[in-house]
Amino acid sequence: MVLHFLIQGRVQGVGFRWFVHREASELGLRGWVRNTEEGDVEVVAAGDPDDLADLRASLKRGPRGSRVDRVVEHTLNDSEARGLTSFRIDGAW
Protein backbone atom coordinates (compact mmCIF):
# COMPACT_ATOMS: atom_id res chain seq x y z
CA MET A 1 0.00 0.00 0.00
CA VAL A 2 1.24 3.50 -0.86
CA LEU A 3 -0.06 6.68 0.78
CA HIS A 4 0.58 10.38 0.18
CA PHE A 5 0.16 12.77 3.12
CA LEU A 6 0.19 16.56 3.22
CA ILE A 7 0.56 17.89 6.76
CA GLN A 8 -0.50 21.48 7.38
CA GLY A 9 0.04 23.69 10.40
CA ARG A 10 3.23 24.77 12.19
CA VAL A 11 5.27 21.94 10.71
CA GLN A 12 8.42 23.60 9.38
CA GLY A 13 11.32 24.62 11.60
CA VAL A 14 10.22 22.26 14.39
CA GLY A 15 12.03 19.04 13.42
CA PHE A 16 8.98 17.56 11.70
CA ARG A 17 10.90 15.88 8.84
CA TRP A 18 13.33 14.25 11.27
CA PHE A 19 10.38 13.11 13.41
CA VAL A 20 8.69 11.53 10.37
CA HIS A 21 11.95 9.92 9.27
CA ARG A 22 12.44 8.30 12.67
CA GLU A 23 8.84 7.09 12.94
CA ALA A 24 8.72 5.70 9.39
CA SER A 25 12.13 4.04 9.68
CA GLU A 26 11.15 2.32 12.95
CA LEU A 27 8.04 0.99 11.18
CA GLY A 28 10.11 -0.32 8.26
CA LEU A 29 8.33 1.88 5.72
CA ARG A 30 9.82 2.99 2.40
CA GLY A 31 9.43 6.49 0.99
CA TRP A 32 10.33 10.11 1.66
CA VAL A 33 9.43 13.30 3.50
CA ARG A 34 10.06 16.90 2.41
CA ASN A 35 9.03 20.49 3.06
CA THR A 36 6.86 22.23 0.49
CA GLU A 37 7.27 25.83 -0.65
CA GLU A 38 3.81 26.53 0.82
CA GLY A 39 5.02 25.75 4.36
CA ASP A 40 3.57 22.25 4.62
CA VAL A 41 5.26 18.85 4.92
CA GLU A 42 4.70 16.18 2.26
CA VAL A 43 5.14 12.44 2.84
CA VAL A 44 4.99 9.42 0.54
CA ALA A 45 5.13 6.12 2.42
CA ALA A 46 4.82 2.51 1.26
CA GLY A 47 4.39 -0.56 3.40
CA ASP A 48 2.02 -2.67 5.44
CA PRO A 49 -1.42 -1.08 6.07
CA ASP A 50 -1.06 -1.48 9.86
CA ASP A 51 2.33 0.27 9.82
CA LEU A 52 0.89 3.05 7.66
CA ALA A 53 -1.93 3.46 10.19
CA ASP A 54 0.69 3.88 12.93
CA LEU A 55 2.49 6.50 10.81
CA ARG A 56 -0.82 8.32 10.21
CA ALA A 57 -1.37 8.56 13.97
CA SER A 58 2.16 9.93 14.43
CA LEU A 59 1.64 12.52 11.68
CA LYS A 60 -1.52 13.77 13.36
CA ARG A 61 0.35 14.12 16.66
CA GLY A 62 3.63 15.57 15.35
CA PRO A 63 6.77 16.30 17.35
CA ARG A 64 6.86 18.61 20.35
CA GLY A 65 6.78 22.23 19.19
CA SER A 66 4.68 21.50 16.13
CA ARG A 67 0.99 22.15 15.60
CA VAL A 68 -0.81 19.89 13.14
CA ASP A 69 -3.94 21.59 11.82
CA ARG A 70 -4.77 19.17 9.01
CA VAL A 71 -3.54 15.94 7.43
CA VAL A 72 -4.68 15.41 3.83
CA GLU A 73 -4.31 11.79 2.71
CA HIS A 74 -4.51 10.11 -0.69
CA THR A 75 -3.96 6.50 -1.68
CA LEU A 76 -1.53 6.13 -4.56
CA ASN A 77 -1.28 3.38 -7.14
CA ASP A 78 1.08 0.59 -6.03
CA SER A 79 3.26 1.39 -9.05
CA GLU A 80 4.22 4.62 -7.22
CA ALA A 81 6.22 2.46 -4.79
CA ARG A 82 8.64 1.36 -7.51
CA GLY A 83 12.03 2.85 -6.83
CA LEU A 84 11.25 3.72 -3.22
CA THR A 85 14.07 2.60 -0.97
CA SER A 86 14.54 3.01 2.75
CA PHE A 87 12.81 6.08 4.14
CA ARG A 88 14.68 9.33 3.42
CA ILE A 89 14.46 13.07 3.93
CA ASP A 90 14.43 15.05 0.68
CA GLY A 91 16.00 18.46 0.71
CA ALA A 92 17.78 18.12 4.05
CA TRP A 93 21.02 20.06 4.40
Q: What is the rounded distance in angstroms from the CA atom of residue 66 to the CA atom of residue 12?
A: 8
Active site residue 35: yes
- Of 35, 67, 70, 82, which one is the catalytic site residue? 35
Please answer whether residues 87 and 25 qualify as being in contact, where contact means their C-beta atoms are separated by less than 8 angstroms.
yes
- E-state strands within 12-62: 30-35, 41-46
77 is catalytic: no
Annotated catalytic residues are 17, 35
